[in-house]
Amino acid sequence: MKILIPTKLDKAAAANLTAAGYDVVQDDALPIEELVAAHPDAAGLIVRSEKVTPAIIDALPSLKCVIRAGAGYDNIDYVYARTKEIDVMNTPGANSNAVAEEVVAMILAAYRYVVPADTTTRAGEWNKKKYMGRELTGKTVGILGLGNIGRLLVKRLQGFECKVLGYDHYLSKQRALNIGATPTELDEIFSEADIISLHVPGGPATRNLINAALISKMKDGAMLINCSRYGVVDEDAIRAAKAAGRNIIYCTDVHPKDTAAMQPSADVADLMLPHLGANTREANKNAAMRAARQMIGYFAHGDTSCVINAERPADLAPAHLQLASMLGKLCYQVGGCKPIRKVECTFYNNLRSFRKWFTPWILQGTVPGAEQGLMPAAAETSFREHGIVYKAREPKDERQYDDALTIDIYMEIDGQQIKSSVRGMVVDGTPVVSRIAEFDHLYAALSGNTIVLRYADRPGVVAAIGQALSLAGINIENIVAPTDSNSGDSLAVIKTNMPISDDQLQAIAKTIGAKLAFSISM
Residue 400: the pLDDT is 65
Q: What is the pLDDT of residues 87-127, one digit of tens each?
A: 999 887 788 899 999 999 999 999 999 999 999 999 999 99
Residue 174: the pLDDT is 81
Using DSSP bridges, classify how beta strands 271-272 and 23-26 pair: parallel, antiparallel or unpaired: unpaired
Residues 171 and 62 in one domain: no
Q: Comparing 378-387, 415-424, 460-469, 470-479, which segment has the lowest mean pLDDT? A: 378-387
Q: Comparing 7-21, 116-130, 289-303, 388-402, which segment has the lowest mean pLDDT? A: 388-402
CATH of the domain at 289: 3.40.50.720
In a domain, 460, yes or no: yes
Q: Does 239 score more than 90 pLDDT?
A: yes
Residues 433 and 469 in one domain: no
Q: Are 136 and 158 in contact (CB under 8 A)?
A: no
Residues 379 and 259 in one domain: no
Q: Does 480 score more than 90 pLDDT?
A: yes
Residues 232 and 352 in one domain: no
Nearest CA to 518 among 449, 470, 457? 449
Domain termination residue (choose one: 220, 253, 272): 272
For residue 158, the enclosing domain spans 96-272
Instruction: Compute the mean pLDDT over every residue in the chain, rounded to the nearest whole number.
Output: 92
In a domain, 308, yes or no: no
In a domain, 454, yes or no: yes
How far is it, in rounded angstroms, from Cα 256 to Cα 264?
8
Domain termination residue (choose one: 389, 423, 445): 445
Residues 219 and 115 in one domain: yes
Residues 120 and 263 in one domain: yes
List Cβ<8 Å contacts ≥24 apart for 397-400: 399/348, 400/348, 400/349
Residues 134 and 217 in one domain: yes
In a domain, 307, yes or no: no
Residue 397: the pLDDT is 62
Pick from 60-69, 199-208, 360-369 the range whose average pLDDT is largest. 60-69
Residues 289 and 407 in one domain: no
State the DSSP code for 209. -
Give me the mean pLDDT over the 400-426 stretch: 88
Give me the mean pLDDT over the 424-449 stretch: 93
Give me the mean pLDDT over the 140-152 stretch: 93
How far is it, in rounded angstroms, from Cα 386 to Cα 377?
15
In a domain, 485, yes or no: yes
How far is it, in rounded angstroms, from Cα 218 to Cα 223?
8
Q: What is the pLDDT of residues 224-237, one digit of tens each?
A: 999 998 999 999 99
Residue, of 516 and 416, whose pLDDT is higher = 516
How far is it, in rounded angstroms, from Cα 351 to Cα 426?
11
In a domain, 197, yes or no: yes
Return the percentage of the chain with pLDDT > 90, whole number: 75
Q: What is the pLDDT of residues 183-214, one digit of tens each?
A: 999 999 999 999 999 998 776 668 899 999 99
Residue 289: the pLDDT is 96
Q: What is the pLDDT of residues 275-316, one digit of tens each?
A: 999 889 999 999 999 999 999 999 999 998 888 887 778 788
DSSP letters for 48-63: SS--B-HHHHHT-TT-
CATH of the domain at 487: 3.30.70.260
Residues 102 and 133 in one domain: yes
Q: Does 178 score more than 80 pLDDT?
A: yes
Residues 134 and 266 in one domain: yes
In a domain, 135, yes or no: yes
In a domain, 66, yes or no: yes
Q: How sure is the predictor about 379, in pLDDT bands with cuts at 50, 70 and 90?
A: confident
Residue 55: the pLDDT is 97
Q: How sure is the predictor about 398, in pLDDT bands with cuts at 50, 70 and 90?
A: low
CATH of the domain at 371: 3.30.1330.90
As for how many domains the chain has, the answer is 4
Domain termination residue (choose one: 426, 445, 464): 445
How far is it, in rounded angstroms, from Cα 48 to Cα 157?
29
Residue 313: the pLDDT is 82
Residues 88 and 163 in one domain: no
Q: How sure is the predictor about 376, in pLDDT bands with cuts at 50, 70 and 90?
A: confident
* Residue burial 64-81, b: 16+ Cβ < 10 Å; e: rest: bbbbbbbbebebbbbebb
Backbone angles phi, psi at 415, to 5 degrees: 80, 0
Q: How sure is the predictor about 62, in pLDDT bands with cuts at 50, 70 and 90?
A: very high
Residues 89 and 107 in one domain: no
Read off the pTM. 0.71
